[in-house]
Amino acid sequence: MSKPKVAFICVHNSCRSQIAEALGRHLAAEAFESYSAGTELKTLINQDAVRLMKELYGIDMEKNQRPKLIGELPPVDIVVTMGCGVACPFLPSKRREDWGLEDPSGKSDDEYIAVIKRIEERIRRLAESLKD
């Protein structure tokens, strides 16, 4: 049986959704395939997120990831929106969750780390729920 495909979606696909894709690949690859995308593109992944993910997990997000539009995604089973409210893009799926995470862009490292740790916790919980 193939693993479910999970898309982490946010408007710009530059910070929270990129972190979720990276942590999904790093922590839950046995449970699901991770993707991320948005409806508007930034030219780069958020550089504070890139730096902190390298420091915390040894993950170089720029090596295998880039900002992308939702039209580039394969059909997915689960859509996780990051908390962009009414601006969150719609993508067809069998299951949908909103994680309601604040965007740490432009804030302190401590605020980034708090969001990253919340994403890690949710990734672990999502992987566990898919095993049941």
Q: Which tokens go with 103?
A: 């965007």
Tell me, letter by letter, the H, E, C secondary structure of 10-21.
CCCCCCHHHHHH
Catalytic residue positions, numbered = 10, 84, 88
Beta bridge partners of 33: 5
Residue 100 φ/ψ region, left for φ over 0, alpha for ψ in the -120 to 50 degree band, beta for the rest:
left
Comparing CA positions, the residue from 28, 27, 35, 30 lying closest to residue 5 is 35
